[in-house]
Amino acid sequence: MSHTGTETVGEEIPPSGVDASIPHSARVYDWWLGGKDNFAADRAMGAALIQAIPTLRTMAKENRSFVHRVARYLVGEAGVRQFLDIGTGIPTRPNLHEVAQAVAPETRVVYVDNDPIVLAHARALMISTEQGRSEYIHADLREPEKILADPRLTGTLDLDRPVALTLIAVLMLLRDSDDPAGRLRTLMEALPSGSYLAITHPTGDFNPAEMDAAVAAATQGHMTLVPRTRAEVERFFDGWELVDPGVVPVMAWRPESEPEDPHAAYYWAGLARKP
């Protein structure tokens, strides 16, 4: 698999379990980020979404940049040494554990995704420092009890010590009827005081017309995309204490340098601590 445009280059043979004829969020996102693990249907969907939102590639990069900043904050400033990252995506260097372990090599990370293509590449996610650990679980966010009971989670994370739960650009793939808040609540309740929750979430708040066009393109391609308002994103954190600066445009969350236009990436981002 090696492509730069929407055209098919050579013969594309998907790993087992991967239906390459239907676009999938992990592979569309991989294409935006310049990755190679995507197929013609994903690139067609990715291009249709770029027609709706021309800055989507920059948005994906800004979202990754948040992952790096929040991981450095959590390990470097908040002292967290354990992560549970759900909706991990196709490995993209630096991966979360690489950023965290660069600060504290003993950090442990459990990754979860439900896409077979992520599973096919999971080995790259499991190359950890000797002192730390990283694990991968092929599972669905809509089955939080299963994730929490998985021996790879219980064998890697100590749920009596703080865990950072990271849901980065994944909740928009759950419809309200999937009860994202309820699934999240089950995970939040399993974590001890001093744990953290980080979320990024696409929104129509900054440019409703472009986001509406993106939802229409996604719907046409049979892909779920549910943008949510700031109030809806804030509600996911209910009962936990938002860390400064609260739920803000992703580019405005503790940026390394002041962005010219923080609303250029249509994502809300936030981090909260369990009291």
Q: Quick check: 142 binds ligand SAM (CB under 6 A)?
A: yes
Does position 29 bind ligand SAM by CB under 6 A? yes
The answer to whether 128 contacts ligand SAM (rule: CB under 6 A) is: no
CA distances from 66 to 107, 226, 246, 252 (A): 19, 20, 14, 10
Residue 31 in contact with ligand SAM, rule: CB under 6 A: no
Q: Which stretch binds ligand SAM (CB under 6 A): 63-71, 73-81, 226-234, 258-266?
A: 63-71
Part of the chain binding ligand SAM (CB under 6 A), chosen from 21-29, 127-135, 202-210, 229-237: 21-29
Q: Please, what is the minimum distance in Å from the beta carbon of residue 127 to ligand SAM?
A: 18
Among candidate residues 265, 260, 167, the one with its CA nearest the CA of residue 210: 265
118 lies in the site for ligand SAM, by CB under 6 A: yes
Q: What is the rounded end-to-end Cα distance, in angstroms, of the chain?
A: 46
3-state helix, strand, coil in the chain (%, to 5): 40, 15, 45
Give per-residue burial for 134-168: e unless 16+ CB within 10 Å, then b.
bbbbbbbbeebeebbebebbeebbeeeebbbbbbb
CB 96 to ligand SAM: min, Å = 8
Question: Should residue 211 be labelled a site residue for ligand SAM when binding is judged by CB under 6 A?
Answer: no
Chain residues in the site for ligand SAM (CB under 6 A): 25-26, 29, 63-64, 67, 86-89, 112-115, 118, 140-142, 168-170, 173
